[in-house]
Amino acid sequence: MARTAPSPSSSEDGLALPERQEQRYDSWQSIRHNWGFIAFHLAVLTVFLVGVSWPAVAACLITFWMRVFFVTGFYHRYFSHRTFQTTRVFQAVMAFLGTLSIQKGPLWWAGHHRFHHRHSDDEQDVHSPVNGGFWWAHVGWLMAYNRNDTRWNEIKDLARFPELRWLDRWYAGSTLVYAAAAAALGVLLEWLLPSTGATWPQVFVWTFVVSTVLLWHITYLINSGAHMWGSRRFPTTDTSRNNLLLALITLGEGWHNNHHRYPGSERNGFFWWEIDITHYLLTMLSWTGLIWDLRRPPAHVYEESARAS
Ligand SMILES: [Zn+2]
Ligand SMILES: [Zn+2]
């Protein structure tokens, strides 16, 4: 029986990958095309209208840390680097949870991140502080260009899953899902804890707006600060640094020099004293059987590290 030709959705090689386009914006275009992003930042000021209560701040921090983990554990350590294995169903669950971070889709995120590793701090790196300074690496690279297109050539292994392509296309729907969940949480907390002064608009602003703006800038700090501040254990060809403070607030991503030396490791803190909360959470997740084969740095990387100290 003759073999059938691979269909676009079932074969890595058979996929017709769309052409990418990147367009440099002038200042006005940059504002016009990023109006939602700018409005989100300005909306933080509505905390002065809605006020504050402990349930609102708690909801803000819990949704912030949860989504930091969705970015670090799933978008970064799974989709970008494939540092552990999972089922196809849980892969789709991780992709969906990642979209709740409002940082575009899993394929977009992984494609840009893999490109960063291939071109770390060379002239093609889109968010290098060497090429443009702190603010360029932090947020300028996102606002000065149309960066909306996914880097399909970087993520052919992931693009063969139609459910991931679907989520990558419709990621914005998750913003609505998250907004609705934030409002529902607000209604619940207002009803359960009336004496705290929590109201649903207040919980909504803290959970949807403040938590998300915090999440964005903590993520961006790895592109900017983790290539500028800290120590260098490994003499990598880029400017990546290890920084305890960044590791604490980003759930382990601050061990960025380690990570650039061996991106295929599930843990970025290579030693027990390098606090890496994403690693602890992924380890606990592996106990459930949902993920397995968590990859570690090989012995020769530890030998290099011993020589460096
Ligand atoms: Zn980096
Ligand atoms: Zn990485």
Give just the sign of the alpha carbon dihedral 207, 175, 136, 123.
Answer: positive
pTM of the predicted model over 0.95: no
> What whole-number distance in Å separates Cα of residue 85 and Cα of residue 235?
29
Q: How far is CA 188 from the centre of its chain?
A: 29
> What whole-number distance in Å separates Cα of residue 178 and Cα of residue 54?
21
Give 46 Cα–ligand 1 centroid separation in angstroms.
34
Any residues with CB less than 8 A from the CB of 230 and at least 6 apart, and which?
Answer: 241, 242, 243, 244, 246, 254, 256, 257
CB 213 within 8 A of CB 40: yes
Read off the pLDDT of residues 218-244 as tens digits, 9 standing for 90 and up.
999 999 999 999 999 999 999 999 999
Question: Looking at residue 6, what is its pLDDT?
Answer: 36
pLDDT in tens, the chain (309 residues): 333 333 334 445 566 777 777 888 888 988 998 999 999 999 999 999 999 999 999 999 999 999 999 999 999 999 999 999 999 999 999 999 999 999 999 999 999 999 999 998 888 888 889 888 999 999 988 898 888 889 999 999 999 999 999 999 999 999 999 999 999 999 999 999 999 999 999 999 999 999 999 999 999 999 999 999 999 999 999 999 999 999 999 999 999 999 999 999 999 999 999 999 999 999 999 999 999 999 999 999 999 998 876
Question: Looking at residue 14, what is its pLDDT?
Answer: 61
**Which residues fall inside 5 Å of ion ligand 2, going by CB?**
263
Q: What are phi and psi of 145, to 5 degrees?
A: -130, 160
> What whole-number distance in Å separates Cα of residue 133 and Cα of residue 149?
24
Ligand nearest to the Cα of 82, by number: 2
Residue in 302, 294, 298 with CA at minimum distance from that of residue 83: 294
Give 225 Cα–ligand 1 centroid separation in angstroms.
10
Q: What are phi and psi of 146, to 5 degrees?
A: -80, 105
Ligand nearest to the Cα of 236, by number: 1
Give 76 Cα–ligand 2 centroid separation in angstroms.
6
CB 213 within 8 A of CB 196: no
> What whole-number distance in Å separates Cα of residue 270 and Cα of residue 212?
29
Strands 145-146 and 23-24: antiparallel
Ligand nearest to the Cα of 81, by number: 2
Question: Looking at residue 66, what is its pLDDT?
Answer: 98
For residue 24, list its beta bridge partners: 145
Give 196 Cα–ligand 2 centroid separation in angstroms.
41
CB 290 within 8 A of CB 87: yes
Give 116 Cα–ligand 2 centroid separation in angstroms.
8
Give the Å distances, CA to CA, from 142 to 22, 130, 147.
11, 16, 6
Give 112 Cα–ligand 1 centroid separation in angstroms.
11
Ligand nearest to the Cα of 119, by number: 1
Ligand nearest to the Cα of 238, by number: 1
Give 35 Cα–ligand 2 centroid separation in angstroms.
28
